[in-house]
Amino acid sequence: MLYVTGDTHGEFERFEPANFPEQQEMGREDYVLICGDFGGVWDGSRRDARKLDRLEQLPFTTLFVSGNHENFDRLARYPVEEWQGGLVQRLRPHVLHLMRGQVFTLEGRTFFTMGGARSHDVEDGILDPRADDFEEQYRLLRSMGGRFRVAHRTWWRQELPSEAEYQEARRNLERVGHRVDYIVTHCAPNQVLDGLAPGESYTHDRLTDFLEEVRQATTFRHWFFGHYHEDRLLDGGFVLLWEQIVRLL
């Protein structure tokens, strides 16, 4: 069995048995896959650890691609290993980060994964906590109700893929002949983005450009993504997920 859901942002109540009774039928070879903004690796507090331990206790295996709301500095400390044909980081024995640009085979189906997204609620800037005027700027922006983030605390450059990750993605898609069963990302390719909310603030960026390239060059059955906080079925096999948990396999 494989279920897919959208952004969790470190809140995993939806997976508790009362909210997700389907897990009674599930084992460790069954999966729940989160389309980014997992948020389970955040401030390194005991609360983080408790949440990951709770996920580990649930009967299924939790998988996620990265979003933009992950603590990438902390995430990077977990060792990388190979699993089901692609690279993962194992946060707990049954809680795995599916890394960018990988192709996994689960239950005989192939999945291309490419996490990441650009944060769009940062119009007032990214503050550097090492800057001399950091405290002053922080207080000022707070008092103005500014939309800003602090580097390495609430924003990370690694929210967008690196050049090496794009190359890895291209290599792996080439290897499988640009044909997979499913694609799992956090943000959407340009064409889908444009149709999602015309006139809204979602703009194209390097990653949505890349995903557009993938959309045009790759054959797939369904493409799951999150980030835009809506549950919606779209044309062309695209599925935008937020709080719903959808059974795929």
**Which residues contribute to the site for Fe ion (CB under 5 A)?**
37, 67-68, 117, 227
Q: How far is the CB of 68 from Fe ion (least distance, A)?
A: 5
Residue number, 34 or 106, with CB nearest to Fe ion: 34
Nearer to Fe ion, 23 or 66 (CB): 66
Pick between residue 32 and residue 65 the one whose CB is nearest to Fe ion.
65
Residue found by looking up tokens 């952004």 in the block: 7
Is residue 8 within 8 A of residue 14, CB to CB? The reply is yes
- Please check whether residue 75 is in contact with residue 97, taking contact to mean a CB–CB distance below 8 angstroms: yes
Question: Three-state DSSP class for 169?
Answer: helix
Contact 91, 62 (CB under 8 A): no
CA dihedral 90→91→95→96, nearest 10 degrees, is -40
- Using the Cα atoms of residue 228, residue 112, residue 233 and residue 29 in order, give the sign of their dihedral: negative
The residue written with tokens 């692609």 in the block is 86
Of 67 and 86, which CB lies nearer to Fe ion in the complex structure? 67
State which residue, 169 or 207, has the beta carbon closest to Fe ion. 207
Cβ 65 to Fe ion shortest distance, Å: 11
Amino acid of residue 76: A
DSSP H/E element including 4: strand 2-5
Residue nearest to Fe ion (CB): 227
The least distance separating Fe ion from the CB of residue 241, rounded to whole angstroms, comes to 12
The residues, any chain, with a CB within 8 Å of residue 145's CB and separated by 6 or more, are none
Nearest distance in Å: CB 207, Fe ion: 12
